[in-house]
Amino acid sequence: MATHEYSTRLAWAGSTGDGYRAYDRAHEVELAGGTLAVSADASFRGDGSLTNPEQLLLAAASSCQLLSFLSVAALAKIDIVAYEDEATALMPQTSGPMRITEIVLRPRITARGADESTLAQLVETAHRQCFIANTLNAPVRVEHSVEWAS
């Protein structure tokens, strides 16, 4: 079996010499599609106008569910014409090491030629096959809704 390898490049420049409150959290992440400006969440003294690592993690989970779902739907010959997700991740502030404790994906799926039960099974199958969800320590819930295309 093949092993798939993924890589990114990250670059930051600045100084931590003036202490925790002073250094810039902005940095660049190079991905296959280009360079992404990233910072810490504004709650952690970052630039709130930039993408933060927590959002990237959530986007990875959401994107993986989408791609897994499209795959299983296509194999089942179900016509999916639109998919939108409004996902959330929860990270409670604690005195110990912080972590994302829950991810909720809320895809709105627009389909043709399938019933609700079949689509629910495909959503669950996709969730079980999602590489990212299988990797994460936090639980990932999928709360889908369906609309029917004319």
Question: Do both 36 and 110 map to the same domain?
Answer: no
CA neighbours closer than 13 Å in the CB half-sphere of residue 88: 5
Question: Do both 80 and 103 map to the same domain?
Answer: yes
Domain annotation covers residue 3: no
What's the confidence (pLDDT) of residue 33? 86
Domain annotation covers residue 1: no
Question: Do both 62 and 25 map to the same domain?
Answer: no
Question: Do both 64 and 84 map to the same domain?
Answer: yes
Average pLDDT per 10 consecutive residues for the chain, totaling 150 residues: 96 96 97 95 97 98 99 98 99 95 99 95 98 98 95
Question: Do both 134 and 63 map to the same domain?
Answer: yes
Question: Do both 91 and 140 map to the same domain?
Answer: yes
Question: Do both 33 and 13 map to the same domain?
Answer: yes
Question: Do both 89 and 37 map to the same domain?
Answer: no
Burial group, residue 129, by CB count within 10 angstroms (0-12, 13-18, 19+):
middle
Residue numbers of the domain that contains 81:
53-148
Count of structural domains, the chain? 2
The number of beta carbons lying within 10 Å of the beta carbon of residue 108 is 13
What's the confidence (pLDDT) of residue 72? 99
Domain annotation covers residue 15: yes
Angle in degrees, CA 116, 120, 122, rounded to 5: 120
CA separation for the pair 42, 96 (Å, rounded): 20
Token code pair at residue 135: 């990797």
Question: Do both 78 and 124 map to the same domain?
Answer: yes
